Amino acid sequence: MAAELVEAKNMVMSFRVSDLQMLLGFVGRSKSGLKHELVTRALQLVQFDCSPEVFKKIKELYETRYSKKSSEVAQPPPQQQQQQQQQQQQHRAEALPLHSSYDRGSAVARTLPAPNIDYPALYGKYLNGLGRLPPKVAKPEVRLVKLPFYTTLDELLKPTELVPQNNEKLQESPCIFALTPRQVELIRNSRELQPGVKSVQVVLRICYTDTSSPQEDQYPPNIAVKVNHSYCSVPGYYPSNKPGVEPKRPCRPINLTHLMYLSAATNRITVTWGNYGKSYSVGLYLVRQMTSAELLQRLKTIGIKHPELCKALVKEKLRLDPDSEIATTGVRVSLICPLVKMRLSVPCRAETCAHLQCFDAVFYLQMNEKKPTWMCPVCDKPAPYDQLIIDGLLSKILTECEDADEIEYLVDGSWCPIRAEKERSCSPQCPILVLGSSDVNGLLPTPTGNNGENGKAPADVVDLTLDSSSSEEEEEEDEEEDDDEEGPQPKRRCSYEKGLVSAC
C-alpha cells in the first residue's frame, strides 16, 4: 500500500494543470487555482482518500500524458524511434517504479475509457493543418427535470452513468467528493423543515440514461445507498389497493445530508443497484427544499392572471362558431373545488388546460408535496407548477358572490349566479292568490269579507287547475255520498293541504 501511495504521488507531481484539473474534477474537488494549489490539493487527496478508483484514474491520466507526448513529436526514423522508446522506458523505470500488477498492454489498460483530451491545446501549435485532428464533437448530456419543491444551488456531480464492472446482477458504484466551506455554511445556517431535516440539502438523483429529453427520477431495482459508513433510507413502495396492480415507488431525490461530513473531509457514497439491462445515471446536487406554502406565495406573486385577460378568454370560449349548429350562450363554472368539495379560496388552473373550471391552489400544492403527480383534477392532463395561473376574474367573483356555489359566464364576458333549485322554490317569482279560508293548519290569518263574518262557515277552496268536467263529476259523487250519510258534510274541492294556489 505504501508503494502505491509513493507511486501515485510521483505521478501527480509530474502532472500538468489540465491533468490536475481532470483528477480533481473526477472526485468532485474544486478545479480552480494556481498549479501549486492544484498539486497540493491532489497530494492531499492521494494521502488521505486514495481509493482504488482514484488510483486507477491517476494511472490513466499518467498514461494519457505520455501517449500525448509521443503523438506531439514528429515521427523519427524507425531505428532512432526504437532507441528513443528504450531510453524513455529506462528513464521511467528509474524515476518511477510502476506497480507490478499494472501492465500497459494488459486488458485493463486496453479497456480504459478514452480520456477527455483538450484537442485545441494539444494541436494548437501545428500550422497549415499539419497534424490537426477533426474537431471534437461534444456528446449530449443526461438532464433531469426541474422539481418545483427543490431549487438547485450547486451541481456537485453531473449525471454519470452507472457502469457494471462484471456480469453479476448486483453492482456497486462508488463516488467520492468534498463540500466547499461555502456549501457547508449554507447547510448549517439553513432553517429546519422539521426536527433534524435542513432546508438546504445534498441530494442524490437517479434517472434513466437518456439524452433525448429531460428525465424524471427513476430508481434501479435493488437500490441501496451507503453514505460513508451508514446506509441511507430510500422511499418505499405505495401500497396498492387494486388486485393485480403492482405497488409503485415514489422516485424522488434522496436526502444524504444527515449522514455526511459537514467539513472539508471527503465523503464517500456507494450506490448498490441491480443490473438488469437498463442503463441508469446518478447526479449529486446541493438544493434548497421548498414547502407548499412557499410555492403558493410565489404563485400569488408572479402567477395571477389579470381579470380582463380572463374575461377575454371567456369571450373567446363563447364566441359563435360559424361551423357549429348549436349556439353557445353561456358556460357554467362551479365555485366548489373538485379536489376537496369545498368552496374555492385560490382559484387556479394550468394555462394549457382548455376548460374554465378551476381547482384550489392550496390543496393542489399540498397534495403534490406529499405525492407529486402534477395532474389536473378537472381534465386529468399534466398541470405542472410552472404552468399554473390564478384566475383573477374568478377570484373577484368569489368575493362578490357569497350566496351561490355556481355561476354562469355569458357571451359578453359578464356572469350571473346560479342558485340551487330549493332556494328558488322557497322564493317564488309569481304572485300568490289566496282563495280559501285561513284556518287550514292555522297558517294564514282569517281574511276579511262577507264569508268570514259572524262565525259563518268558512269559504270553500277552489282548485283552478281542475277543468269543468272533473268538477261536475266530483259534485255528483259528493251528492251521492251526502244522501247515504247522516247530516251535512263539508265539501272538499282541492287536494292541497294549504290554502295557497300559484296563479302563474
Q: pLDDT tens digits, residue range 345-385? A: 999 999 999 999 999 999 999 999 988 899 999 999 999 99
User: Which cell numbers in the block locate residue 155?
Assistant: 451541481
| Position 113 pLDDT exceeds 80 | no
pLDDT digits over 146-188, tens only? Answer: 999 999 999 999 999 999 988 889 999 998 888 999 999 999 9
Residue 420's pLDDT band (cuts 50, 70, 90): low
Q: Which amino acid is at 483?
A: D
DSSP 257-273: GGGS-SSSSPEEEEEEE
User: Does an H or E element contain 309, and which?
Assistant: helix 307-317
What span, in angstroms and rounded, lies between the C-alpha atoms of 170 and 96?
37
Tally of CA atoms within 13 A in the half-sphere of 62 that contains its CB: 21
Q: Count other C-beta atoms under 10 Å from residue 213's C-beta.
A: 8
Question: Does residue 343 register a pLDDT over 60?
Answer: yes
**Mean pLDDT computed over 421-428:** 49
Q: What percent of the chain has a predicted confidence (pLDDT) above 90?
A: 38
pLDDT exceeds 50 at position 101: no
Find the DSSP H helices in 33-104: 35-49, 52-72, 78-95
Centre a 10 Å sphere on the Cβ of residue 227 and count the other Cβ atoms it contains: 20
> How far is C-alpha 113 from the chain's CA centre?
35
Please write down the HEC assignment for all residues of 406-474.
EEEEECCCCEEEECCHHHHHHCCCCCEEECCCCCCCCCCCCCCCHHHCCCCCCCCCCCCCCCHHHHHHH
- Residue 485: the pLDDT is 47
Q: Which three cell numbers stand for residue 472?
A: 261536475
| DSSP track, 124-140 | TT--TTTTPPPPPPPPP
Q: Shortest CA distance to 55 belongs to which of 1, 16, 18, 91?
A: 1
pLDDT at 36: 76
pLDDT at 469: 47
pLDDT score of 78:
58
Which uninterrupted H or E stretch holds 231?
Answer: strand 230-232
* CA atoms of 54 and 46, how far apart (whole Å): 8
For residue 99, pLDDT beyond 70: no
- Region 259-266: mean pLDDT is 89
**How far is CA 291 from its chain centroid?**
13
**Greatest CA separation found in the chain?**
149
pLDDT, tens digit, 9 for 90 and up, residues 121-145: 433 333 333 334 455 456 688 999 9
Among 13-17, 68-72, 79-83, 123-127, the range scoring the smallest mean pLDDT is 123-127
Between 421 and 6, whose confidence is greater? 6
* Whole-number Å distance between alpha carbons of 364 and 147: 16
Instruction: Name the DSSP class of 99.
Output: P
Q: What percent of the chain has pLDDT over 70?
A: 65
* pLDDT above 70 for 291: yes
pLDDT tens for each residue of 14-52: 888 888 888 888 877 777 777 877 888 788 777 777 777
Contact in structure between 36 and 130 (CB atoms under 8 Å):
no
The answer to whether residue 323 scores a pLDDT higher than 80 is no
Q: Is the pLDDT of residue 215 over 70?
A: yes
Q: How many C-beta atoms surround the C-beta of residue 92 within 10 A?
A: 14
> Would you say how long the chain is, in residues?
504
**pLDDT on residue 288:** 96
pLDDT band at 108 (very low <50, low <70, confident <90, very high): very low
pTM of the model: 0.57
CA atoms within 13 A on the CB side of 481: 11
